[in-house]
């Protein structure tokens, strides 16, 4: 670091540039100054990873190398004896509830008896140098009983057969897929029915589509600074999207009331949904409260991939029926969204996928089933447009297939089926202010190809 702030106060993002003297809030057609624009352009903006205290320690999280395994034992002795190490914590040291989550508190702060994905947090280390913390974590001895992972959403809920390796040692060896959580592997099933489920059509097109997992890959990885107040409370400076939701979950894990857990938004280096869930929040606070010293944690890129949720991979099965004119008659869709090891935003993602899964097009008769599942893949949650993005690939491809089958212009097929004011969406909601889809497509068609 080129500068060091006072020892008793953490450094924070520099104040934003002063507002324009006109005090104009800015509206359509105006270009108000971005409050943090000058600082970012000049390199003076303080991100969460820039925060610093002279007497702080560095925190590190030990993670599972296996996607699915039982934890038989954890030995922290050698790590704790390492010079420069101040603390090594496991699930036994979680002061409050050992579970957190946005919609379901199903993810352990630190794994106890089982790990459900590669990268799951198992233990924490605090040391006076980040590299000492990393090297000490390697000395933690964890004995695993490795199990056959469930890596397919359809398999997870029994819609495809479970075929574990012949030598698999787990609950699924009797031919039944292992239950990754007590209530099974289904997070949510959204069922939509509209019109005649037996409707027929002149032309039918089908398609199977698959969308892979995506990472938000924000430029500033997860980081923060946890500072104990000396009276049993904690101040956490962290880059996040949902400060108050974070506070609620951190309070539960620490066993502290809200007035003793104060979260301050630090400089955010991108998010795109990936900072809606907790990352280092509780880990940093636990180490700070245990040692009585400020704890800084900064993930590298690999840790970041393990430390936050991703976009749900999806398998999508579609069938469209239409008149020979190109007018849609019915749509049938099955959607499988793999939520990974823990629920996170999967219920909301399933809701978006199911309700928006036919796009801005009018379909009289609808059969839609959207499933969100658990698996031993990395947890998935929010990422820009979550749920609706995956299905867009499928329904637009279906219209291209239909146009090809009918020998029609793909733009014309879309225009004749586009929603307008008064159209009804799959849930029955009537649109009172539809986007001008027909006009937009007409303008797009008139533009030259790049």
Tens digit of pLDDT for each residue in 31-88?
888 888 899 899 999 999 999 999 999 999 999 999 999 999 999 999 999 999 999 9
Residue 1 has pLDDT above 80, yes or no: no
Label the pairing between strands 141-146 and 69-75: antiparallel
Per-residue pLDDT tens over the stretch 117-163: 999 999 999 999 999 999 999 999 999 999 999 999 999 999 999 98
pLDDT at 11: 57
Judged on CB neighbours under 10 Å (0-12, 13-18, 19+), 120 is: buried
CA nearest neighbour of 54 among 111, 11, 16, 99? 11
- CA neighbor of 338 nearest in space, from 107, 154, 65, 207: 154
**Can you give the pLDDT at residue 176?**
85
∠ Cα 350 351 352 (to 5°):
90
Three-class SS state of 237: strand
Of 229, 286, 288, the closest CA to residue 262 belongs to: 229
Percent of the chain with pLDDT over 70: 92
Query: Which residues, in sequence order, are CB contacts of 438 under 8 Å at separation 6+?
Result: 415, 418, 420
Alpha carbons 108 and 100: distance in angstroms, whole number = 6
Q: What is the pLDDT of residue 288?
A: 99
CA distance 442 to 414: 10
- Spatial separation of the C-alpha atoms in residues 101 and 94, rounded to whole Å: 16
CB 95 within 8 A of CB 103: no
pLDDT at 13 over 50: no
Of the candidate ranges 142-146, 253-257, 407-411, 421-425, the one whose mean pLDDT is the lowest:
421-425
Where is pLDDT greater, at 172 or 382?
Answer: 382
d(CA 419, CA 438): 9
Question: What pLDDT shows up at residue 172?
Answer: 52
Q: What span, in angstroms and rounded, lies between the C-alpha atoms of 387 and 38?
A: 35
What confidence score (pLDDT) does residue 21 get? 42
Which tokens in the block code for residue 344?
């996170």
- The average pLDDT across 378-406 equals 96
Of the two residues 107 and 172, the one the predictor is more confident about is 107
Enumerate domains of the chain plus CATH numbers.
57-147+217-307 (3.90.1170.50), 186-215+310-428+436-446 (3.30.365.10)
Structure tokens at 304: 């970041």
pLDDT surpassing 60 at residue 229: yes
User: pLDDT higher for 181 or 450?
Assistant: 181
Mean pLDDT across 378-396: 95
Ranking 99-103, 162-166, 189-193, 425-429 by mean pLDDT, the lowest is 162-166
- CB of 36 closer than 8 Å to CB of 45: yes
What pLDDT sits at residue 110?
99
pTM for the complete prediction? 0.91
Q: Give the residue from 72, 65, 74, 67 showing the smallest Cα distance to 144.
A: 72
Is the pLDDT confidence value at 17 over 50?
no
Q: Which residues pair with 424 in a beta bridge?
A: 430
Predicted pLDDT at 73: 98
pLDDT at residue 20 above 50?
no
Please tell me the distance from the alpha carbon of residue 101 to that of residue 345, in angstroms, as a whole number.
9
Q: Does the structure show a pLDDT above 90 at 15?
A: no
- The residue among 383, 404, 423 whose CA lies nearest residue 214 is 383
Torsion of CA 370, 330, 320, 337, to 10 degrees: -10
């Amino acid at each position: 670091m080129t500068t060091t702030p006072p020892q008793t106060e953490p450094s924070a993002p520099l104040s934003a540039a002063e507002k324009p003297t006109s005090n104009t809030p800015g509206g359509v057609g105006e270009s108000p100054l971005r409050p943090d624009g000058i600082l970012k352009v000049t390199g003076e903006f303080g991100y969460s990873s820039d925060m610093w205290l002279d007497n702080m320690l560095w925190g590190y999280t030990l993670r599972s190398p296996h996607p699915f395994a039982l934890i038989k034992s954890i030995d922290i002795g050698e790590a704790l004896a390492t010079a420069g190490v101040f603390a090594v914590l496991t699930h036994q040291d979680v002061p409050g509830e050992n579970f957190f989550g946005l919609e379901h508190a199903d993810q352990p702060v630190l794994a106890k008896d089982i790990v459900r994905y590669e990268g799951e947090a198992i233990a924490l280390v605090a040391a006076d140098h980040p590299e000492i913390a990393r090297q000490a974590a390697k000395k933690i001895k964890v004995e695993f009983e490795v199990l056959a992972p469930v890596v397919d959403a359809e398999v997870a809920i029994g819609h495809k057969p479970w075929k574990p390796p012949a030598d698999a040692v787990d609950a699924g060896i009797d031919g039944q897929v292992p239950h990754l959580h007590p209530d099974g592997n289904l997070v949510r099933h959204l069922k939509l029915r509209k019109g005649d489920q037996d409707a027929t059509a002149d032309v039918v097109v089908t398609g199977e589509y698959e969308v892979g997992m995506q990472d938000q890959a924000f430029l500033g990885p997860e980081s923060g600074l946890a500072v104990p107040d000396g009276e049993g409370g904690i101040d956490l400076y962290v880059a996040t999207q949902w400060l108050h939701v974070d506070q609620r979950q951190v309070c539960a894990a620490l066993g502290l009331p809200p007035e003793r857990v104060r979260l301050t938004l630090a400089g955010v280096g991108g998010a795109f949904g990936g900072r809606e869930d907790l990352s280092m929040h509780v880990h940093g606070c636990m180490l700070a409260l245990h040692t009585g010293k400020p704890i800084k944690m900064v993930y590298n890129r690999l840790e970041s991939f393990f430390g936050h949720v991703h976009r749900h991979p999806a398998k999508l099965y579609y069938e469209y029926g239409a008149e020979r004119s190109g007018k849609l008659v019915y749509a049938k869709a099955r959607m499988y969204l793999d939520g990974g090891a823990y629920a996170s935003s999967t219920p909301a993602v399933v809701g978006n996928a199911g309700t928006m899964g036919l796009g801005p097009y009018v379909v009289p008769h609808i059969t839609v089933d959207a499933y969100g599942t658990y698996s031993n893949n990395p947890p998935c949650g929010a990422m820009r447009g979550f749920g609706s993005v995956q299905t867009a690939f499928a329904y637009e491809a279906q219209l291209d297939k239909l146009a090809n089958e009918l020998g029609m212009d793909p733009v014309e097929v879309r225009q004749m089926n586009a929603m307008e004011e008064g159209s009804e969406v799959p849930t029955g909601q009537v649109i009172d202010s539809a986007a001008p889809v027909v006009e937009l497509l007409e303008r797009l068609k008139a533009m030259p190809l790049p």
